[in-house]
Amino acid sequence: MTGTVDVEDVLSKLNNVEKRLGIPAIRMSDGPNGVRGTKFFNGVKAACFPCGTGLGATWDVDLLRQAGQLMGDESKSKGSHIILGPTINMQRSPLGGRGFESLSEDPVLAGLGAAALTAYNKVNGIHVSENDKILKGILRGEWGWEGMVMSDWWGTYSTSEAINAGLDLEMAGPTRWRGMALQQAVSVGKVHQHVLDERVRNVLNLINRVSAAKIEEYAPELTADTPETAAFLRKIGGESIVLMKNEDKILPLSKDKKTLILGPNAKYAAIHGGGSAALAAYYAVTPFEGIKSQLTSDPLYTVGCYSHKELPLIGDILKTANGETGISFKAYNEAPNVPDREIADELVLTKTELLMMDYNCSKLKSDLWYGTIEGTYTAEEDCDFEFSLGVYGAAKLFVDDKLLIDNDTVQRKGTMFFNCGTAEEKGTIPVKKGQAYQIRVEFSSAPTSKLDPGSNTLFGSGAVRIGGAKVIDAEEEIKHAAALAKNTDQVIICAGLNSDWESEGNDRDNMALPGYMDALITAVTAANPSTVVVMQSGTPVEMPWISSTKAMIHAWYGGNETGNAIADVLFGKVNPSAKLPLSFPKRLQDNPAFLSYKTERGRVLYNASLKVSVKVSNTGDLPGAEVIQVYVSQKNPSIKRPKKELKGFKKVYLEKGESTTVEVEIETKYATSFWDEVRDSWIIEKDTYDVLVGSTSEKIQVKGEFEVGKTSWWKGL
């Protein structure tokens, strides 16, 4: 797209139905810390910048401007006219899954760069995408915004309301709320023609603005990996690292001393968070690699403990039949039991997490298809090795043609793949040093899933994740790490979180470091005071050991050059000048937003529905069934109501000795309302309500309560 359009001329010729006149198409790409391109699955590689909080930690406007210019160059290489970033959000809670994407909790620092995109949530009861006060009154009126406003993906919830409020573009396509619905709204006067014209005008003006980049429509996606890019990423990575503590001048470290490197993040490249921030980086330098490159002799290493939420991906320890690092992926129209089936597609992949929301193969005849994933694992030592398998669709994992994990026959709901995938299933085998093991996964696409994804249809083709790790005894490993530390000149602990814990689609439950990490840091720093803790996370974590630790840096998720940037600070090549862009409370309870919203035992209570979970066990000698009944009782009603009213139930069948968790979900308005004859509507009274759960109305076995904070009325369904 190298030319502009005459906006008013095009508007005068357009009607509300057809699409002619050759209006150019524009391409958008995530994201907040790099330009991924158009694909999640097997995308073209890109530069990965430090995460948003890391960028904010630089407090350097000129450096951020340079980062933006380099992202612009990256965008051109991907044929993208618009970068869907930066993420603008002031982190009010340290637990937010996307907190790492934003620059700061402070509006001054967070507001250094911004674009307009409407959020999913409501503000004062009105969706942002149809909020006239925000879009017209504040954004365009008070702030003078003249650009286009589009929704977040599937964040439009109406036709007339959104158009009239000022939402120019519904994303993503194909449209759900415009098209024929909008034509009808205009024809009956719910949307005036001049309002629609204004929405179109803003989109056409955007096309003219981005045409200055001279990016052709549907341009091929290319890489732009240059020495200059690498040098800048290393510089901004180093400038983002915060010196948290340095007693007794532990830092900078010596390059000539005997050094021990340990911790779960040492040999793991935690270069970005999960979700829209994820991309296929040109390369990734681990902390171990970066530190080792600056030492004059090889360091000692031990893992110390694990911190993963799911077992680590194993693409880097597998080989294809041709000896390439990674896995072979073959797609078929037919199931594995069909003889002489033909390969529809064949790829070599380096990552064992396949998010196939945008996978497309012209030879596949329908949404139902099958895939075979293969790789060879050669054991580095005698040990027990644990594999894992998660899927949206169905999958089985075989080792040397023997079934190890079945995530097909029976599936458990999990949080993978934006909560539409299974739980992670695991299997363990003993392995011998030097022996090769053939790993094969038979996958079938999303239509074969046994789970209900709800409204989440992101992964049209499905998704699969293969992980693995040596089985360790964490307590023994910590003892081993402390013993090594005692006989070493200097120790570097690489700890923190990763994209499993910080990702779009999920929030953390607490601020604690996962697993045995606190115990590892405590034991090692006691064994050797000359220990530096390198912490990686995009948001605050609890550090109960900080008072007994002499040196610590916070390194965020640092992008491609993470390991080199960390090493530059540790060995004094870079004098750290970064500052925290958000507060690190000592405990979750110290955060200003802690419990400022209604909670029960620390869990947020939402008004949309009442959810009851109860464990049921069959303690008898035969299979059987039980009915779980949920009753609600208002404590102080204004009228005489039944002592308890049935509001929900579920029947469950259990084998002998089997247990399961039964969930009953009821909309709050249905759980609490009664008919108000005076106002001729349903009423929900402000009050405290008891929840009574049992097998009959008389046999109540579980009790709880919830509150309604405000009286309201409603009609309809």
Asked if 393 and 407 touch (Cβ cutoff 8 Å), the reply is no
Tokens 């996606």 correspond to: 221
What HEC string does 360-387 produce?
A: CCCCCCCCCCEEEEEEEEECCCCEEEEE
Sequence-ordered list of residues with C-beta below 8 angstroms from that of 474, at least 6 positions apart, any chain: 305, 306, 515, 516, 519
Residue type, 45: K
Q: Where are the alpha helices (DSSP H) in 487-604?
A: 517-527, 562-570
Alpha carbons 499 and 270: distance in angstroms, whole number: 7
SS3 139: helix
311 touches 587 (CB < 8 A)? no
From residue 362, give the alpha-carbon distance in Å to each of 159, 331, 345, 461.
34, 11, 9, 13
Give the up-direction half-sphere exposure of residue 562: CA atoms within 13 A in the CB hemisphere: 35
Residue type, 473: D
Question: Of all residues in the chain, what percent are helix, strand and coil, respectively (each to 5)?
Answer: 25, 30, 50
Rounded to whole angstroms, what are the CA distances from 441 to 268, 318, 328, 415? 24, 13, 10, 21
Q: In the annotation, is 507 catalytic?
A: no
State the Cα–Cα distance between residues 50 and 701, nearest whole angstrom.
52
- Residue 614 class from Cβ within 10 Å (0-12 exposed, 13-18 middle, 19+ buried)? middle
**Catalytic-role residue among 152, 590, 687, 690:** 152
Any idea what DSSP says for residue 51? P
What is the bridge-based pairing of β-strands 117-118 and 150-151? parallel
- Distance spanning both ends of the chain, measured CA to CA: 49
Pairing between strand 531-536 and 551-554?
parallel
Alpha carbons 140 and 116: distance in angstroms, whole number: 11
Q: Could you give the 3-state DSSP secondary structure of residue 238? A: helix
Cis peptide before 269 (omega within 30 of 0): no
With contact defined as beta carbons under 8 Å apart, do 581 and 103 qualify?
Answer: yes
* Residue 588, Cβ density class (10 Å: 0-12 exposed, 13-18 middle, ≥19 buried): buried
Q: Rounded to an integer, what distance in angstroms lies between the CA atom of residue 270 and that of residue 551?
A: 21
3-state secondary structure 585-618: CCCHHHCCCCCCCCEECCEECCCCEEEEEEEEEC
Strand partners, 410: none
The number of helix segments (H) and strand segments (E) in the chain equals: 15, 34
d(CA 83, CA 72): 8
The residue with tokens 């396509």 is 173
- What count of other Cβ atoms lies within 10 Å of the Cβ of residue 333? 17
Task: Give the β-pairing of 343-349 and 327-332.
Answer: antiparallel
Q: For residues 452 and 466, what is the distance between their CA atoms, to the nearest angstrom?
A: 22
For residues 320-332, one letter each, b for 16 or more C-beta atoms within 10 angstroms of the residue's C-beta and e for the rest, the string is: beeeeebbbbebb
- Catalytically active residues, by annotation: 152
